[in-house]
Amino acid sequence: MVVVSQRVPVPPERVFAVLSDGWLYASWVVGASHIRQVDGHWPQTGARIHHSIGPWPTQVQDTSCVLAVEDGKLLELEARMWPMGAAKITLTLIPDSDGGTEIQMAEKLVKGPLSLLPQPVQNVLLGPRNTESLKRLADIAVHR
Protein backbone atom coordinates (compact mmCIF):
# COMPACT_ATOMS: atom_id res chain seq x y z
CA MET A 1 0.00 0.00 0.00
CA VAL A 2 1.26 3.48 -0.92
CA VAL A 3 0.59 6.15 1.73
CA VAL A 4 1.20 9.90 1.31
CA SER A 5 0.08 12.84 3.42
CA GLN A 6 -0.38 16.60 3.18
CA ARG A 7 -1.08 19.14 5.90
CA VAL A 8 -3.60 21.85 5.08
CA PRO A 9 -4.37 24.90 7.28
CA VAL A 10 -8.15 24.42 7.26
CA PRO A 11 -10.38 22.17 9.41
CA PRO A 12 -11.38 18.68 8.25
CA GLU A 13 -14.90 19.90 7.41
CA ARG A 14 -13.50 22.18 4.68
CA VAL A 15 -11.49 19.35 3.16
CA PHE A 16 -14.44 16.96 3.37
CA ALA A 17 -16.63 19.54 1.63
CA VAL A 18 -14.34 19.25 -1.40
CA LEU A 19 -14.43 15.44 -1.25
CA SER A 20 -18.24 15.64 -0.98
CA ASP A 21 -18.52 17.56 -4.25
CA GLY A 22 -18.13 14.83 -6.84
CA TRP A 23 -17.99 17.38 -9.65
CA LEU A 24 -14.61 18.55 -8.27
CA TYR A 25 -13.09 15.04 -8.49
CA ALA A 26 -11.26 15.69 -11.77
CA SER A 27 -9.91 18.96 -10.35
CA TRP A 28 -7.79 17.21 -7.74
CA VAL A 29 -7.38 13.58 -8.87
CA VAL A 30 -4.36 13.36 -11.16
CA GLY A 31 -5.36 11.39 -14.26
CA ALA A 32 -9.10 12.01 -14.07
CA SER A 33 -9.92 14.22 -17.03
CA HIS A 34 -13.71 14.53 -17.22
CA ILE A 35 -16.70 13.94 -14.94
CA ARG A 36 -19.70 12.63 -16.86
CA GLN A 37 -22.10 12.07 -13.96
CA VAL A 38 -22.20 12.06 -10.15
CA ASP A 39 -24.80 9.97 -8.34
CA GLY A 40 -27.18 12.19 -6.38
CA HIS A 41 -26.37 10.53 -3.06
CA TRP A 42 -22.58 11.10 -3.36
CA PRO A 43 -20.58 10.54 -1.11
CA GLN A 44 -22.78 7.93 0.61
CA THR A 45 -21.76 4.28 0.48
CA GLY A 46 -22.44 2.82 -2.96
CA ALA A 47 -22.54 6.18 -4.76
CA ARG A 48 -20.46 6.52 -7.93
CA ILE A 49 -18.69 9.15 -9.95
CA HIS A 50 -18.67 8.36 -13.67
CA HIS A 51 -15.40 9.73 -15.02
CA SER A 52 -12.95 9.60 -17.87
CA ILE A 53 -9.28 8.93 -17.24
CA GLY A 54 -6.39 9.94 -19.46
CA PRO A 55 -5.92 12.26 -22.41
CA TRP A 56 -8.24 12.45 -25.36
CA PRO A 57 -8.56 10.43 -27.64
CA THR A 58 -7.34 7.51 -25.52
CA GLN A 59 -9.63 8.17 -22.55
CA VAL A 60 -10.99 5.27 -20.55
CA GLN A 61 -14.52 5.73 -19.20
CA ASP A 62 -15.15 4.17 -15.83
CA THR A 63 -16.32 4.86 -12.27
CA SER A 64 -15.19 5.43 -8.71
CA CYS A 65 -17.48 4.02 -6.02
CA VAL A 66 -17.73 4.87 -2.32
CA LEU A 67 -16.90 1.82 -0.19
CA ALA A 68 -17.07 3.59 3.20
CA VAL A 69 -17.60 7.09 4.52
CA GLU A 70 -17.40 8.84 7.90
CA ASP A 71 -18.57 12.42 7.52
CA GLY A 72 -15.68 14.82 8.01
CA LYS A 73 -13.21 12.00 8.70
CA LEU A 74 -12.88 9.34 6.01
CA LEU A 75 -13.72 8.50 2.42
CA GLU A 76 -12.85 5.10 0.99
CA LEU A 77 -13.21 4.51 -2.74
CA GLU A 78 -12.78 1.84 -5.34
CA ALA A 79 -11.39 3.71 -8.35
CA ARG A 80 -11.61 1.78 -11.59
CA MET A 81 -9.65 2.13 -14.81
CA TRP A 82 -10.68 -1.01 -16.61
CA PRO A 83 -9.14 -2.99 -18.33
CA MET A 84 -5.97 -1.96 -16.46
CA GLY A 85 -7.43 -2.53 -13.01
CA ALA A 86 -8.88 -0.96 -9.90
CA ALA A 87 -7.51 0.54 -6.71
CA LYS A 88 -8.79 0.90 -3.17
CA ILE A 89 -8.14 4.46 -1.99
CA THR A 90 -8.62 5.64 1.58
CA LEU A 91 -8.59 9.34 2.39
CA THR A 92 -8.36 10.02 6.12
CA LEU A 93 -8.71 13.50 7.61
CA ILE A 94 -6.93 14.03 10.94
CA PRO A 95 -7.47 17.32 12.78
CA ASP A 96 -4.37 18.93 14.26
CA SER A 97 -3.95 21.19 17.28
CA ASP A 98 -3.62 24.32 15.11
CA GLY A 99 -7.07 23.97 13.53
CA GLY A 100 -5.67 22.41 10.36
CA THR A 101 -5.89 18.92 8.91
CA GLU A 102 -3.49 16.20 7.94
CA ILE A 103 -4.85 14.45 4.86
CA GLN A 104 -3.61 10.88 4.47
CA MET A 105 -4.13 9.06 1.21
CA ALA A 106 -3.53 5.31 1.06
CA GLU A 107 -3.83 3.45 -2.23
CA LYS A 108 -3.56 -0.22 -3.09
CA LEU A 109 -4.01 -1.70 -6.54
CA VAL A 110 -6.51 -4.52 -5.96
CA LYS A 111 -7.79 -5.77 -9.32
CA GLY A 112 -6.53 -6.28 -12.84
CA PRO A 113 -3.06 -6.58 -14.34
CA LEU A 114 -1.67 -3.51 -12.53
CA SER A 115 -2.30 -5.20 -9.17
CA LEU A 116 0.36 -7.77 -10.13
CA LEU A 117 3.12 -5.14 -10.14
CA PRO A 118 5.62 -5.54 -7.28
CA GLN A 119 5.10 -3.09 -4.41
CA PRO A 120 8.29 -1.08 -5.15
CA VAL A 121 7.03 -0.44 -8.69
CA GLN A 122 3.60 0.55 -7.38
CA ASN A 123 5.31 2.98 -4.99
CA VAL A 124 7.19 4.63 -7.86
CA LEU A 125 4.03 4.90 -9.99
CA LEU A 126 1.55 5.97 -7.32
CA GLY A 127 3.57 7.97 -4.78
CA PRO A 128 4.28 11.09 -6.88
CA ARG A 129 0.82 11.02 -8.46
CA ASN A 130 -0.90 10.85 -5.08
CA THR A 131 1.34 13.55 -3.61
CA GLU A 132 0.29 15.88 -6.43
CA SER A 133 -3.38 14.91 -5.96
CA LEU A 134 -3.19 15.89 -2.29
CA LYS A 135 -1.54 19.21 -3.17
CA ARG A 136 -4.43 19.95 -5.53
CA LEU A 137 -7.00 18.88 -2.93
CA ALA A 138 -5.33 21.13 -0.34
CA ASP A 139 -5.33 24.11 -2.71
CA ILE A 140 -9.04 23.72 -3.42
CA ALA A 141 -9.89 23.31 0.28
CA VAL A 142 -7.92 26.45 1.20
CA HIS A 143 -9.06 28.71 -1.66
CA ARG A 144 -12.64 27.53 -2.22
Q: At what angle do helices 12-19 and 119-143 cross, to 10 degrees?
A: 110
| Per-residue pLDDT reduced to its tens digit, 120-143 | 998 898 999 999 999 999 999 999
- CA–CA gap between residue 64 and residue 88 (Å, rounded): 10
Q: Supply the DSSP string of 112-135, one letter for each residue.
A: SGGGGS-HHHHHHHHHHHHHHHHH
Q: In which element (H, E) is residue 28 found?
A: helix 25-28
Of 108, 102, 103, 114, the C-alpha closest to 127 is 108
Map out the domains of the chain with their CATH numbers: 2-143 (3.30.530.20)
| Per-residue pLDDT reduced to its tens digit, 2-46 | 999 999 999 999 999 999 999 999 999 998 999 999 999 999 999
What pTM value is reported for the model?
Answer: 0.93
